[in-house]
Amino acid sequence: MNAIPTGVKSNEQSNAHAGVRSMTGFAQARVEENGLRLRISIRSVNHRFLDVRVHLPEGLDAIEPRIREMLRERMRRGHVDVTLHLEPIAQNAARVNTELAEAYLKAAEELRRKFGLTTEPDLLGLFRLPGVVAASAEIAGAAEEKQNEENLGRAVESCLAQTLKQLEQMRAAEGAALVRQMQTLLGQIAERTARVEEIAVRSRPAIAKHLAARLAELLGEAQIDPARLAQEAALLVERGDTSEELARLRSHLDQFGALLAAGGELGKKLDFLLQEMQREANTLLSKTPGVERDGFEITELGLEIKSDIEKLREQVQNVE
């Protein structure tokens, strides 16, 4: 019997594990476009479903649906925190409203002619008049404001795409590490399952012998019916027969390994298999044979199998 389940390839064949992703990761990207400096960070941890929280500067709520849409396209499970930082680049932060400045100058010229003044307009004073110098967004017209929103949306999408790419790379690397750990545990379970099977086969004659000795002790010199002895031995062996549990456990191990090799969204499927594996391990422990030495050894192996299954469960909690 192979120690490694047939569905699990060797550690050297890393390409087979490219599709397994962890739910844990962090990434950050920066973009400077159209006078704006953007920084987006994403932090993700394990969660049963996709739970997204978006943190945006005030006034940018309109772009949140697109951010959520892009995340849903690339992620299936995990608690995800997205934070966007936005600031204007200093040299483009202010603009002169030339139309308003021209209106102020015309009004000043009319006053000069009407009252015969010779004083020239004060340029610095003109800049201090309300609305002449302001942030770009404050003086933009409707068409320009819409264009600014479109530019901002494109910049956010570009920055978010870069951040998601980095996050996917990190989650893939974490996923590959998880696969290596799970492979080791699968191999241990397979080896211990094979050992239990060997002991179970070896113990069958010993069970019949043990039963005969026990009956002889109880009955003394009374004659033992060989047919009845065989019947009682068969019942005892059947109650302690673990062949079905071992066969199902091997089947679950192969399915688990095949899913790891295939990649994709595995977390929920692997978790279901682990529940089934734990059930078989519990039944196995309840059926340990009555022969003392073999019973102790099978119990020890069964407990180690349960421990390995729990370790697998811990790893699976982080698989997308």
Per-residue pLDDT of 84-100, as tens digits, reads: 998 766 554 556 778 88
Once rounded to an integer, what is the mean pLDDT over residues 113-134?
A: 75
pLDDT tier, 13 (very low <50, low <70, confident <90, very high otherwise): very low
Whether pLDDT at 14 is above 90: no
CATH code of the domain made up of 14-91+142-173: 3.30.230
Give per-residue pLDDT as tens, 48-70: 899 999 999 887 888 999 999 99
Tell me the range of 9-13, 110-114, 217-221 where mean pLDDT is highest: 110-114
Q: What is the pLDDT of residue 181?
A: 94
Q: What is the pLDDT of residue 6?
A: 44
Give per-residue pLDDT as tens, 194-241: 998 888 777 766 655 666 666 566 556 666 666 766 666 566 666 667
Q: Where are the domains positioned within the chain?
A: 14-91+142-173, 98-131, 175-316
HEC sequence for the chain: CCCCCCCCCCCCCHHHHCCCCECCEEEEEEEEECCEEEEEEEEEECCCCEEEEEECCCCCHHHHHHHHHHHHHHCCCEEEEEEEEEEECHHHCEEECHHHHHHHHHHHHHHHHHHCCCCCCCHHHHHCCCCCEEEHHHHCCHHHHHHHHHHHHHHHHHHHHHHHHHHHHHHHHHHHHHHHHHHHHHHHHHHHHHHHHHHHHHHHHHHHHHHHHHHHHHHCCCCCCHHHHHHHHHHHHHHCCCHHHHHHHHHHHHHHHHHHHHCCCCHHHHHHHHHHHHHHHHHHHHCCCCCHHHHHHHHHHHHHHHHHHHHHHHHHCCEC
Q: Confirm whether pTM is higher than 0.75.
A: no
The yes/no answer on whether domain 175-316 falls in CATH 1.10.12 is no
Whether pLDDT at 79 is above 90: yes
